[in-house]
Amino acid sequence: MGLVQAVVGAVGGTLADQWKDFYTVPAGLPSTAALFAAVPQGTNAGRGSNTHGSSNIITNGSKIIVPEGYGLLLFQDGKITAFVAEPGGYEWRSDDPNSKSIFAGDGIVSSLITQSWERFKFGGQPGSQQAAFFVSLKELPDNRFGTQSEIYWDDGFLNTQVGAITRGSYTLKIVDPILFVKNFVPASYLQPGKVFDFTDLDNAAASQLFNEVVGSLAPAFSLYTNDPSKGNRITKIQQDSVGFARSLSDAVEQGYQWKSDRGLAIVKTAIVSIEYDANTRELLKTVQRADALSGARGNANLQASVAQGIQSAGETGGAAGLMGIGMATGMTGGFAGLQQPVAPPAPAADDPVAKLKKAKEMLDLGLITQADYDALKAKALGL
């Protein structure tokens, strides 16, 4: 009975696999799909009869359409045999007996008799495995990251260690599809109907990438804020998605060799939020105050403080206002082109020379007599 079934299966499968087919992208794919098998059209709008072909055999003469933004990987018995990166239509050709077809001009003997005999040896099943997989060459979005507790790094601009909790997302790109498939994609995804998606929570390989990104965040923050060629500050990270993505990609590469071992790279990042720890928040306030007192804006602030000090000096008699001027200018260290007003020194109250000088001026003006002057002179000199 088993022999009859094998014969029927071998002949029936051989006849079904004679049809050329049309391979396309599966319907209903998510935008984050990275790798998936090409599927035969079979039927279209009620037309077509190729619905019983083998799932692991591609018939000679079958056409495969490669859409924009995708590459095509061809497999023969588990081995990658070709890669196509240019979009367009391609025809499948193979020397494998299971792929031969009378419709592709391979002859009736090779296509039917020889192929049926070879399949009979395997119980009616094809003795080969052929597959075509599409791999995305686009930026794959919505890869999220986040920290549950503070990450810390040494910040060269602030000259101290700072910490924050952060979350966001990044786009990922497959830069070497062959390396990606060989070194990273689990074998369970190299089957018809399976889709490798980096955002799939059940994808253990994708979860590993998430953990590695989180582990690289602290080095990435450090690389970005300590880059002397850009002079970047911690407060500019959210404004520079490309710059921080480069730092994050470099940190991931240094720690986990994504590009060299897996053919992956981070392209852009979007930081949704950064929540600094208490010490960092206080330090940033100090930096902001220092920034407000620097440059032209700081000069304007100092001039306003001087004006207020002069006004206070006039209202209070001098001491309080002049002290305020000194404090305002002392905080900033002084600015070029701006001089502090200095009150003239008051003459000493018991200076005899000053007293005689003043008395002589009064005598010359006729305000006192010679006798009055002589008396003042004698008193000032202690005679």
What pLDDT is recorded for position 8?
Answer: 37
Rounded to an integer, what distance in angstroms lies between the CA atom of residue 252 and that of residue 38?
31
What pLDDT is recorded for position 55?
Answer: 57
What pLDDT is recorded for position 345?
Answer: 55
The verdict on pTM exceeding 0.85 is: no
Assigned token pair, 19: 């049809």
Assigned token pair, 172: 């990922």
What pLDDT is recorded for position 317?
Answer: 53
User: What would the DSSP string read from start to end of 120-167?
Assistant: HHTTTS-S--EEEEEEE-SPEEEEEEE-SS-EEEEETTTTEEEEEEEE
**Cβ within 8 Å of residue 263, ≥6 positions away:** 174, 175, 176, 177, 178, 179, 180, 183, 184
CA dist 63 → 69, 92, 93, 104, 178 (Å): 18, 6, 10, 12, 22
CA atoms within 13 A on the CB side of 310: 10
Tens of pLDDT along the chain (383 residues)? Answer: 333 333 334 434 443 444 456 788 888 899 899 999 988 875 443 444 444 445 566 776 778 889 999 999 988 888 898 898 999 888 777 655 444 444 344 444 444 444 443 443 344 444 467 788 999 999 999 999 998 899 998 887 788 899 999 999 999 999 999 999 999 999 999 988 899 999 998 999 999 999 999 999 999 999 988 887 766 677 788 888 888 999 999 999 999 999 999 999 999 999 888 899 999 989 888 887 777 766 555 565 556 565 665 566 555 555 544 454 454 455 444 444 444 445 555 555 567 777 778 878 888 877 788 888 888 887 777 66
What pLDDT is recorded for position 35?
Answer: 96
**Cβ within 8 Å of residue 49, ≥6 positions away:** 19, 43
Label residue 105 left, alpha or beta by phi (over 0 means left) and psi (-120 to 50 means alpha). left
